[in-house]
Amino acid sequence: MSRSSRTRRLSAGLAVAALAFTTAGAATAAQAAPFAPSSGTTAAAEPGILMNYVVNTKATPAHVGRVEKAVEAAGGTVVASYDEIGVVIAQSTNPNFRTDVRAGRNGREVQSVGATRTAPVSEGPVGAAKQAAAKGLNAGESTVVPDPDETKQWDMVQIKADQAHQVTDGSKRVLVGVTDSGVDDQHPDLKPNFDAKNSVNCTGNGVADTTPGGWRQTTSDHGTHVAGTIAAARNGVGIVGVAPGVRIASVKVVNDDGYIYPEYAICGFIWAAQHDMDVTNHSYFIDPWMFWCDDDGDQGAVQESVRRAMDYQTKKGVLSVAAAGNSNYDLANKTTDTSSPNDSTAVTRQINNDCLDIPTELPGVITVASTTQARAKSSFSNFGLGKIDVAAPGSAILSTIPGGYGTKSGTSMASPHVAGVAALMKSTHPWWGPRDLEKALLRQADDTACPTTPDARCTGTTANNAFFGEGIADALDAVNRIR
């Protein structure tokens, strides 16, 4: 997979044990044509390619119900509905769906509508049987015995997790959602902490699928690696995670081709919110656009849908932690994007700061940059003054993979360190909500100055700068019971 065309699908592209996703072929001109805005409603339009859409309305059951009727009247199928956020996921082969869904009395309830991808739906049509929308302090040992490979984990030393473990390994009452490519729950370092009951697979058109094992990895070990960094158990085997005493659940949002489409992510956010998760980790950007621009009809509608889902998750008590990205890009000064869309044919386009890398740039999300063992910015890590919240180790990180252990690099590896720190914090301060956890993460981070050799990109102060934000996450402070 070319990182120039798919900069941070799962942002561990610089790994020693690299991700291997199938690169999507370029769409043909015939496929691309239906994505132009419709000029008007056609009485009997020829069927086009199968596409998924988000349709936004007011967040009430009545409004959502009327939009569902509008979807059906426009020749669409309702895939999933979320009364809580006023979002309907629809599927249709009608090339004029965007226009037709707004027609009639029920169509007046549509606030915005947008395609979730630029390539045809690969999962196939949604059948009626599949239409089930997502509804719905253990004390540490006084003497900690290290696991065999724990001494190889320089990353845990950098964030002081080794010292934090002298206080606590975390509480089984705390649940962290690994929103990723699936998790190997049979791995000996993950099995003790895995919560199958609260795991789900969202890659079937964004419908929550609880089939046992459906949330396991298929084509990527990325999620298993992330899970180990968060909560590999202290069990005398292999490594130890940042919070080895908490539970983890798999929220699978990456399909077999490596794509994380908006409907998958929305399904995952709602699932986490309604299944009592405390922290979720998001080591990805939502495809097919590296940056979603609100002045584009489709992209703006999707940006709004995802924002609503993330906001709902936060209001339900879930703290979201996300990777900043691997493009060495200044998120505070956006100018061009040459890598999107990555599921058809990428184009060079001018962008601005209203175009967002989602979910990491959404309000309330902790954005994490990557550091090296020398506490420097990783060469690949995105940056930006006012965009990066904290930093954590992300270069050559040892963690779990199916069948053993391996090293990966990327902001994907940095983000789960912070998710683990937040889990320790929640274990020690169970009454804290997302905003309390966020404030403490930022306040407790260790200030990290810009490079001594001047780098014009690193603007700001030692206390808060473009490379490290508020500093490197601190697990020891996280377990201090003093507010």
Q: Check if 412 is active-site.
A: yes
**What does the chain come to in residues?**
483
Q: Distance (Å, rounded) from C-alpha 374 to C-alpha 290?
A: 29
Helix 411-428 and helix 434-444, axial crossing angle in degrees, nearest 10 = 110
- What's the start-to-end Cα distance of the chain, in Å? 45
**How far from the centroid of its chain's Cα atoms is residue 170's Cα?**
23
Active-site residue identified among 63, 187, 222, 417: 222
DSSP 8-state symbol, 47: P
| Residue-wise DSSP of 393-427 | E-SSEEEEETTEEEEE-SHHHHHHHHHHHHHHHHH
DSSP 8-state symbol, 480: -
Q: Which of 229, 246, 253 is nearest to 176 (CA)?
A: 246
Asked if the peptide bond before residue 434 counts as cis, ω within 30 degrees of 0, the response is no
The residues facing 400 across adjacent strands are 405
The pair of three-digit structure tokens given for residue 297, joined into one six-digit string = 């009809």
Output 23-26 pairs: Cβ under 8 A, ≥24 positions apart. Answer: 24/119, 24/257, 24/259, 24/342, 24/343, 24/344, 26/344, 26/345
Q: How far is CA 224 from CA 112, 126, 359, in A?
A: 36, 29, 20
The pair of three-digit structure tokens given for residue 442, joined into one six-digit string = 């930022």
Q: Distance (Å, rounded) from C-alpha 273 to C-alpha 311?
A: 10
Rg (CA), the chain: 22
Q: Which of 183, 179, 238 is nearest to 215 (CA)?
A: 183
Q: Distance (Å, rounded) from C-alpha 425 to C-alpha 481?
A: 9
DSSP 3-state of 333:
coil
Active-site residue identified among 412, 415, 427, 477: 412
**How far from the centroid of its chain's Cα atoms is residue 405's Cα?**
23
CA angle 81, 82, 87 (to 5 degrees): 85
Q: Check if 180 is active-site.
A: yes
The pair of three-digit structure tokens given for residue 242, joined into one six-digit string = 């940042």
- The one-letter amino acid code at 251 reads V
Q: Check if 257 is active-site.
A: no
Active-site residue identified among 180, 189, 195, 343: 180
Catalytic residue annotation: 180, 222, 412
